Amino acid sequence: MWRIDIMVIVKIIFTIDLIGLILAGLYMLAIMPKRNPKNLLKGKLGSYHYAHRGLHAIHAGIPENSLRAFRLAANNGYAAELDVRMSRDGSLVVMHDESLKRTTGANASVSAVTTQVLSQLTLEGTREKVPSLEEVLPLFVGKTPLLIEIKPENKNHELLTKKVTDMVRQYPELNYMIESFDPRVLYWLKKNRPDITRGQLAENFFKDKDCKLNWFMRLFLSNLMANFLTKPDFVAYKYEDRNDLAPGLCKKLWHTQLFWWVVPSQEEADPLIRAKDKIIFEGFAAK
């Protein structure tokens, strides 16, 4: 019969506990964003609710990411969130999906068509055209801020981020922030434009049926483990995943400013606002 050596068992338990503590400590350091950032949502950036893809309502003929939706947001005192991709000929296009099918009916991707082709398309059965970033920016100059999401593809993260930052630089009176799911975008900003307020977009990628990431990247990005490299000013996390560990730890441990996307009602927005979190809303006029 095997004899149980109590001391051996104690040593094994101690070793396991020690390894656990070390891993927990490393994780808490990995999710640490920028500490006490000077540009952390001060002034106008932190004083507004952000209308997701503009103040859109397709039942009223106002499609998402349209000039009309952005104009309504700015004129009614709302900041706005928008998405930027790059066309085949290098233009900055305001469009959420990689495919144009859902919003325009065209069976092509944004990166595969030219600006001329895009100019002929309309959004969701309306007369609204697919806007360029250059058309949207002047609507917010001297008014409310913009939250610009950079959506790279085909390894164009550096070129796309540089193009966006070069363009917004032409509007010195514009208040804006940049966010992305891709940590490489934030890393580029950290190295090249540290003055720009930057945010890490994230969600629980294990719950996303359309996610194309492998298991490791889902784990890495869901748990915000790129923060130690990118040092974001804020974290924007999916509202449905608000009870996940990573965003809560970021706020409690490091006092990270949280944004929640997409908040669907005032009732659900109110407790977030009381907790001094920021909201990216859709489907109602936030108060």
Q: What is the pTM of this model?
A: 0.92
- Domain 44-281 indexed as CATH 3.30.360.10: no
The residue ranking higher by pLDDT, 200 or 37, is 200
Helix residue spans in 76-226 (DSSP H) = 101-104, 115-118, 133-136, 157-168, 183-192, 215-222
| CA-closest candidate to residue 49, choices 275, 273, 256, 237 | 273
Check residue 32 and give its pLDDT. 86
Check residue 23 and give its pLDDT. 75
Ordered by start, the domain boundaries in the chain are 44-281
Check residue 26 and give its pLDDT. 79
Check residue 106 and give its pLDDT. 97
Give tens-digit pLDDT for 39-74: 555 556 777 889 999 999 999 999 999 999 999 999
Give tens-digit pLDDT for 96-134: 999 999 999 999 999 999 999 999 999 999 999 999 999
User: Helix or strand or coil: residue 158?
Assistant: helix
Give tens-digit pLDDT for 205-235: 999 998 999 999 999 999 999 999 999 999 9
CA-atom Rg of the chain in angstroms: 21
Check residue 1 and give its pLDDT. 43
- Whether the predicted pLDDT of 171 surpasses 50: yes
Check residue 8 and give its pLDDT. 65
